[in-house]
Amino acid sequence: MSGARERILAAVRQGLGREALPVASREALDARLRSTVEPDQHLRPRLAEGDIGYLFRARLQSVSATHEPLGSEAYVPAAVAAYLDSRHLEGPVAVAPCLRALDWRRAGLDPRFGQSHGEDVLCVSRAFCAIAETGTLVLLSGPDNPTTLNFLPDHHLVVLHAPDLVSHIEDAWTRIRAREGDWPRTVNLITGPSRTADVEQTIQLGAHGPRSLHVLMVDPGDR
Amino acid sequence: MTQARSHEFRTRAVQALRDETLKSALARAKDGFVLKRRQALDALPEYEALRDRAVAIKNHTLEYLDHYLERYEEAVIRQGGHVHWAENAEEACRIVVEICRQAGARSVTKGKSMVGEEVGVNDALEAAGMEVVETDLGEYIIQLANEPPSHIIAPAVHKTRGQISDLFHKHHARYGLTEKLVEVPDLVNEARQVLRQKYLDADVGITGANFLIAETGSNIIVTNEGNGDLTNTLPKVHIVTAGIEKVVPTLEDATTLLRLLPRSATGQQITSYTTLSTGPRRPGDPDGPEAYHVVLVDNGRSAMLRDEFREMLRCIRCGACMNHCPVYGAVGGHAYGWVYPGPMGSVLTPLTLGLREAKDLPNACTLNGRCADVCPVRIPLPDLLRSLRHRQFQHQLGTRRARWALRLWAWLAQRPGLYRRVTTLQVRTLRLLGGRRGRLRFLPLAGAWFRGGRVLPAPEGETFMRAWRRRGKNP
C-alpha cells in the first residue's frame, strides 16, 4: 500500500516535471497553509446594507426555513411545546445535552437528552454560529451536540444566540479555529430543510433529512 | 473500472435521438438548470473575480500537488483517520472491499460519488457478497434501473415520473409497499421510508468528496438531501473515495470554490448541507463513525499533469458544461457510454480509457464554446477537445475517409485563392441543389447522413469571405 503511495507521488512529480520540492519551497507553502487570512477581502460577496440579522432572516425564508425570536434561552422549552402543539405533533423528542439545564418539565415536556436513533419526531440542537451571507446554521459535533439530532427527525429546531451571527462563511472558520479543543469530527453547515429535485426537477422538501427547519433566535435585546 | 460503452457512441446517440421520452426529460431539465444558474450569477457581482481566484487556487494546488497531498495525509492521520492510495480503479476497489471485510460488513450505504462510479466500487462490493445501497435519490433510482448516471449532479435526469413510479412499484413490493404511487411527494416519501431503514442497518458508509482540506484533514461534501450525512454519521465505518485532484490548501480556498459550485450546478447560493468530516468520532462523542478512511485515487490523473490536460484537473464537477451543451441536450448522458458525459466527459473519458475506446467523443462537439463560457474554473474545454482530435489524427485513429477528407481540406486551405474559388463554386452548386425551398435531402458521398429523413438547409449563395468583405465595406 505504501508502494502505491510512493508511486503516485512519483508520478505526480513526473507529471509536474520536477523532483521533490526543496525545503525552502515547502516552508513557503506551509506558511501559506498556516496563514489562513484571506488574501482578497473583495472576494467576499457584498451584503445588503444594514442589519445582518435582517439579512439572515430573509435568507432563512428564501430556503423555506422558519424562525421566531425569543427574549431568553429560558423560553426555549415553551417555544418547543408550542411548536409541537400548533402542528399537532406527538412522539418522542430528543434534545442536545447542552440544553439539559433548561426547565423542560414546566413546559410539559419530558425529552431525552442525547443522540437520536431515528424514532424522534422532533430534535432540538444548538448552533455554534450562523452565517448571514447564506442563511446557514453552523453546528459542531460533540458530547453536547450529537450530529444525529440534525438529520434523523422530521422537525429540527435549532437554538441560535444573536451574538453568534456572523456575516460571511470565512468568519465561521475563524470562530471554529479560535475555540478551545480539537477540530470537531463533524461541522454541519445547514441551510434550510432537506430537499431533492431528483424526480423531474420538482423540488420536494424532506428527502432524507428533516422536513422542516425552525430557528429559535435568542436575543435579549429583541423585545 | 465501470464498463465502458463509449465506442458505441454513434449507435447510442441515434437511438437517443429517436427516444421521445428522453427528449422531453432532457428539455425540461436543461431549461431549469440554465435559468437557475443565470439568476444565481446575476445576483453575484463578484462572479468573475471569484472565477479568477478559483483558477489561481486550483493552479497553485496542482503545481504543488505532491506537497499538499502529503500535508493532507498528515492532517488526516493526526485526527485519527487512515489514508490509502490507489493507482488505478482495481486497486481502489480492492482497498474499499478490504476495509469493508475487516469491518465485517454485510450492508454498505453510499452517498453519491463520481469516483465511486468511475472505479466501479458497487460491482466490487457486490461481488464480495455485500449489499450496496445508493442513497442519493437519483442514484437510488438508477441503481434500481441498473443503469449508470446520465448526469454528474442529477444522475436520474433522464427518467420521467412515470418510469420512476414503475421502478418503485416493482422493487418496493418486497418491503410490503405495494401501492402504485405517481405523485412526486409520494414517491419521495416512499424512497425516504425504504432508505431510512438501510441507513440504520448499514455497517459501512461510503461518500465522495467535493474537497479535501490539507489544513485540517477534512473532506467536504455538498448535498441537498441529507443522505450523505446519514451515510457518514450512522455506520461504524466511514470511507471517503476521492480523486487526488480534490485537495485544496485551506478552508478559505475551499470557500471560494464553494461560492461557485452550487450556483453553477443548481443555481443555489449554497446547498442545504455542506459538511466537513474530520477523522472518526472523538472521545465522548455519542455518535459518528468509529473509523474514518480516505481512498485517494489516481487512475490517470497524475499523467494529466504533464500537458495541456492539466487544466482539466481544475474541474469541480458542477455539470454546467453539460447543461449548456447542445449535443448533450440532444442525446443525453447515456450515449457517452461511461460515467462522465457531456463536454467534461468527452475530455476525461478518452484520457482515462484511451482514444480508441472513446474515439467519437472528441468529435461529438460543435465547438460552439458555451461550455468554456460557463465553466466556473475556466477550463478551455473546446481547446482540449480539439487537442484530442489532433492526437487522434496523429495516431491514425479516424476512419480512412475522414483522414483523406481532412488531408484534402488542409491542402486546399493552404492555397487561399484556390480555396475561395472552390468554395464559391461549392456554395452555388449547393444552392442550386437546394431548389426553391432551400433544403437539401441528399448529397453524393454523404448518403448515410441523410438517412432517416435528416434535412440540411442549403447555403444562401454567398461564401463567408464574400459576405465579410461586403459587410466590411458597408457595415
Q: Is A42 on the interface with B (CB under 8 A)?
A: yes
B412/chain A closest Cα distance in angstroms: 38
Query: Residue A196's closest CA among B162, B168, B139?
Result: B139
Residue B262: which residues within 8 A CB-CB, separation 6 or more? B222, B268, B269, B270, B271
Q: What is the pLDDT of residue B146?
A: 93
Tally: H helices and E strands in chain A:
5, 12
Contact criterion met (CB < 8 Å) for A204 and B184? yes
Q: Which of B32, B282, B305 shows the shortest C-beta gap to A201? A: B32
Contact criterion met (CB < 8 Å) for B29 and A201? yes
Instruction: Pull the grid cell for residue B101.
Output: 471485510
How large a percentage of chain B has pLDDT more than 70? 99
Contact criterion met (CB < 8 Å) for B137 and A148? no
Per the CB < 8 A criterion, the answer to whether B214 and A33 are in contact is yes
Q: Which residues of B touch A8 (CB under 8 A)?
A: 69, 85, 87, 244, 296, 298, 302
Backbone angles phi, psi at A64, to 5 degrees: 65, 25
Query: Residue A72's closest CA among A101, A41, A93?
Result: A101
Per the CB < 8 A criterion, the answer to whether B108 and B236 are in contact is no
**Number of A:B CB contacts under 8 A?**
253
The separation between CA A163 and the C-alpha centre of its own chain, rounded to angstroms, equals 15
Every domain of chain B and the residues it spans: 6-301, 413-473
| Measured distance CA(B211)–CA(B316) in Å, rounded | 9
| Closest Cα in chain A to B306 | A15
A45/chain B closest Cα distance in angstroms: 6
B93/chain A closest Cα distance in angstroms: 13
Query: Residue B244's closest CA among A5, A216, A200?
Result: A5
Contact criterion met (CB < 8 Å) for B259 and A42? no
Terminal-residue alpha carbon distance, chain A: 62
Q: What is the pLDDT of residue A39?
A: 66
Go through chain B and tell me how many residues it has: 475
Q: What is the pLDDT of residue B161?
A: 92
Whose grid coordinates read 436520474? Answer: B156
Per the CB < 8 A criterion, the answer to whether A141 and A126 are in contact is no
B474, amino acid identity: N
Produce one character per residue of B227-239: b if its CB has 16 or more CB atoms within 10 Å, e if not: bbbbbbbbbbbbb
Q: What is the pLDDT of residue B290?
A: 98
| Measured distance CA(B43)–CA(B49) in Å, rounded | 14
CB atoms within 10 A of CB B390: 11
| Closest Cα in chain A to B266 | A197
| Closest Cα in chain A to B196 | A208
What does R_g of chain B's alpha carbons equal in angstroms? 25
The separation between CA A105 and the C-alpha centre of its own chain, rounded to angstroms, equals 28
Looking at the domain B6-301, which fold is it?
Answer: Rossmann fold (3.40.50)
Residue B410: which residues within 8 A CB-CB, separation 6 or more? none
| Closest Cα in chain A to B30 | A201
Instruction: Pull the grid cell for residue B182.
Output: 405517481
Distances (CA, A) of B217 to A33, A175, A183, B135, B229: 12, 18, 10, 25, 18
Q: Is B35 helix (H, G, I), strand (E, B) or coil?
A: helix
Q: What is the pLDDT of residue B334?
A: 95
Q: What is the pLDDT of residue B393?
A: 85
A117/chain B closest Cα distance in angstroms: 8
Per the CB < 8 A criterion, the answer to whether B166 and B187 are in contact is no
Per the CB < 8 A criterion, the answer to whether B226 and B262 are in contact is no
Which residues are bridge partners to B218 per DSSP? B213
Q: Is B438 helix (H, G, I), strand (E, B) or coil?
A: coil
Q: Which of B86, B191, B215 shows the shortest C-beta gap to A36? A: B215
| Measured distance CA(B475)–CA(B473) in Å, rounded | 6
| Measured distance CA(A13)–CA(A5) in Å, rounded | 12
Per the CB < 8 A criterion, the answer to whether A157 and B239 are in contact is no
Contact criterion met (CB < 8 Å) for B65 and A201? no
Q: Is A12 on the interface with B (CB under 8 A)?
A: yes
Residue A24: which residues within 8 A CB-CB, separation 6 or more? none
Question: What pLDDT digit, counting tens, does each position of B159-180 carry?
Answer: 999 999 999 999 999 999 999 9
Contact criterion met (CB < 8 Å) for B275 and A186? yes
Q: What is the pLDDT of residue B453?
A: 75
Which residues are bridge partners to B85 per DSSP? B296
Produce one character per residue of B413-432: b if its CB has 16 or more CB atoms within 10 Å, e if not: eeeeeebeeebeeebeebbe
| Measured distance CA(A138)–CA(A195) in Å, rounded | 18
The alpha carbon dihedral of A166, A168, A174, A180 has a sign of positive
| Closest Cα in chain A to B59 | A16
Q: Which of B85, B156, B199 shows the shortest C-beta gap to A198? A: B156
User: For chain A, which domains are there?
Assistant: 1-37 (no CATH), 48-218 (3.40.50.10420)
- Which residues of A, range 162-221, sit inside 8 Å of B by Cβ? 169-170, 173, 182-202, 204, 206-210
CB atoms within 10 A of CB B55: 17
Distances (CA, A) of B207 to A149, B2, B130, B213, B333: 20, 17, 17, 16, 22
Residue A181: which residues within 8 A CB-CB, separation 6 or more? none
| Measured distance CA(A50)–CA(A47) in Å, rounded | 9
B40/chain A closest Cα distance in angstroms: 12
Q: Which residues of B touch A15 (CB under 8 A)?
A: 302-306, 310
Backbone angles phi, psi at B294, to 5 degrees: -120, 130
Q: What is the pLDDT of residue B266?
A: 95
Q: How does pLDDT run along chain A (223 residues), one tens digit per residue?
A: 469 999 999 999 999 999 999 999 999 999 999 886 666 777 899 998 889 999 999 999 999 999 999 999 999 999 999 999 999 999 999 999 999 999 999 999 999 999 999 999 999 999 999 999 999 999 999 999 999 999 999 999 999 999 999 999 999 999 999 998 889 999 999 999 999 998 988 899 999 999 999 999 999 875 4
Contact criterion met (CB < 8 Å) for A115 and B234? no
B125/chain A closest Cα distance in angstroms: 20
| Measured distance CA(A128)–CA(B231) in Å, rounded | 23
A223/chain B closest Cα distance in angstroms: 30
Q: Is A142 on the interface with B (CB under 8 A)?
A: yes
- Which residues of A, range 62-121, sit inside 8 Å of B by Cβ? 63, 114-115, 117-118
Looking at residue B18, the DSSP 8-state letter turns out to be T
Question: What pLDDT digit, counting tens, does each position of B80-125 carry?
Answer: 999 999 999 999 999 999 999 999 999 999 999 999 999 999 999 9
The alpha carbon dihedral of B303, B306, B308, B312 has a sign of positive
The angle, 0 to 180 degrees and rounded to 10, between the axes of the packed helices A2-16 and B65-78 is 150
Low-confidence residues of chain B: pLDDT under 70? 473-475
Q: What is the largest CA-CA distance in chain B?
A: 83
